[in-house]
Amino acid sequence: VGAEALVRWQHPERGLLAPGLFITLAEETGLIAPLGRWVLRAACEQLAAWQNQPRFAALVLAVNVSAVQFLDPGFTQDVLDLLEATGASPAHLKLELTESLLVRDADAVIAT
């Protein structure tokens, strides 16, 4: 049993937009890295809060990670720092990668 972190953009004219409508733009403009860090931090903070509530303590929280974010040389350290800063259990954080990432640079993916 678990949950998935889902990001949406509250557009001023178009309303609530799903990731498929803005993630590519975030990647093209360089905003995907700060957006991804924000989502990871929010997920870790939520996991830490759940750890103190018996009925939620066993939940796993999945977070989609973009190729740009995952292949950043500092990504692994960023995740470790967030886990330490928030007190979230690493066993309850699930990072989900897209298949395209795996074929893009398999050696770098394996190393990370």
> Strands 2-4, 60-65: parallel, antiparallel or unpaired by DSSP?
parallel
Cα-Cα-Cα-Cα dihedral of 10, 66, 30, 34, to 10°? Answer: 70
Q: What is the pLDDT of residues 18-48, one digit of tens each?
A: 988 988 888 889 898 899 999 999 999 999 9
Q: Is the pLDDT at 112 greater than 80, yes or no?
A: no
pLDDT in the model for residue 42: 97
pLDDT in the model for residue 39: 95
pTM, whole model, 2 decimals? 0.85
pLDDT in the model for residue 57: 93
Q: What is the pLDDT of residues 70-102, one digit of tens each?
A: 888 999 999 999 999 999 999 999 999 866 555
